[in-house]
Structure 1
């Protein structure tokens, strides 16, 4: 029998002592986007069928200040027609086909609004809202959340923009928010940036509740997570994890959530069921 180490017990205590996301959320990245067109209502609904605990969706403002769900700043990759989202009214965006690029069976999927995505979230599921632009989106989002009476305990904001996260925390001090970061390796020194201390400092400065990190195993190890927590960042999630080995690794490190394009595949892995061949 393998006995838990004192370090493991300390980490478990720290995780239990702080307010965190529901343990080990499996988050559908732009929905079940391995199988369905990303950031569409069909992709989000499929994520629920695949056992996701939450979905992550990306949001921009249109030229007429409507919030729409799309990852890129323009529509070309997912619709075949190029419109810059910020320069285009909702009425025009709604004429686009955001599904058939993935497969003909998805033809006719529209670019959804925030309201439509929210309506597709079941009562017992979470909604991870990635804001792709600056703080200007926050007042519009605040008005929508109030108008729609959104379930605030099941929403979490994420963004690569620290000023956007800071604005979210000012508008919604009791709602969770994670600052996002990836990693770059210095060409000369080989050091990875940002460091755990730098991440913790940014999290503190923007009043985030934690950090969402690109799931890079060259960077994120137990020592890295210990440093994060020592510096005051007690909660983290990782993206985008489609490998069973990676999912197990980050689960063992205590990730609050694992974001994946393949919710069912990763769910089966972490639940100890056969996940098939690791062909990610």
Structure 2
């Protein structure tokens, strides 16, 4: 049964249509009426919080090299749009502050901290920025590493945390690393729910393929919201399946498609 609490989250903006994690992508999410966006953040060499998914700039810009090796002024000169389409040539890597300036009082943002395991101070910097702007009720912080989420909770109880977890339906799955650091691979819902409760997170985020109606029921029984990550492209059947399972939301590159599916469910 579809959940009444449902987050349709524009993954890196409306990234199915415009270059991910850029102002054009977030502006389209706004135009589509999507009230929740997701972005990824990393530190530059001079400790600016920038919005980019990968550890390097190679895939989504015309540059090469690790994000952490650039100053922000150097990153700001890179073209972050042409890789997607010539139409978006000249799009730039935004700062987190620039993205926060875009949305209104009705919009929420999920900030995924990518390299907090290497730079604990980025977590502090994100939290400080959110508090300084009075956006604690509109921002969620997500991460794959429990230490990052623990740090958020140590700094404030007002910002919601979302635990991104790696799961497998194999009984003995191979190890997995995120940003070069090994993370747990969960095979049993009760184990990931227990860890989520132990770390006082607000929302549990397993991969879409691990979620069943039974998993959702167990999470809800434990007092957790549950949303999916890792949808592959414009998979309308999977979106509809997850909605039927009762999830509380999911990240999608096509928030307009998900909105229609949820509305008609």
In 2, Cα distance between equivalents of 1:189 and 1:97 = 39
Residue 143 of structure 1: which of 128, 145, 150 is its match? 128
The equivalent residue for 2:8 is 26
Q: Is the 8 A contact 1:54 1:128 kept in 2?
A: yes
The equivalent residue for 1:238 is 228
Which digits, 9 at most, give the CA deviation of each residue in 1:190-246, with x for residues without a partner?
A: 9x8332111112212322112112111xx321222233344x252111124432222
In 2, Cα distance between equivalents of 1:37 and 1:189 = 33
The equivalent residue for 1:3 is none
The equivalent residue for 1:247 is 239
The equivalent residue for 1:277 is none
Residue 22 of structure 2: which of 24, 40, 43 is its match? 40
RMSD: 2.3
Name the SS for the 1:99 alignment partner.
coil
The equivalent residue for 1:77 is 59
The equivalent residue for 1:261 is 253
Given the two structures, how large is their TM-score scaled by the length of structure 1? 0.82
Paired residues, what number?
Answer: 250
- Tell me the CA shift for residue 124 of structure 1: 0.9
Q: Is the 8 A contact 2:169 2:187 kept in 1?
A: no
Q: Which runs of 5+ in 2 are unaligned?
A: 175-184
In 2, Cα distance between equivalents of 1:178 and 1:215 = 15
- Tell me the CA shift for residue 145 of structure 1: 2.0
Larger radius of gyration: 1
The equivalent residue for 1:194 is 187
Are residue 65 (structure 1) and residue 65 (structure 2) matched?
no
In 2, Cα distance between equivalents of 1:150 and 1:112 = 20
In 2, Cα distance between equivalents of 1:240 and 1:54 = 17
Residue 200 of structure 2: which of 203, 207, 212 is its match? 207
Are residue 166 (structure 1) and residue 150 (structure 2) matched?
yes
Q: Is the 8 A contact 1:158 1:178 kept in 2?
A: yes
Given the two structures, how large is their TM-score scaled by the length of structure 2? 0.87
Name the SS for the 2:137 alignment partner.
helix
The 3 A distance-change label for structure 1 pair 246 and 51 is farther
Q: Which runs of 5+ in 1 are unaligned?
A: 1-7, 16-21, 274-280
The 3 A distance-change label for structure 1 pair 75 and 189 is closer
Name the SS for the 1:142 alignment partner.
helix
In 2, Cα distance between equivalents of 1:104 and 1:223 = 45
Name the SS for the 2:217 alignment partner.
helix
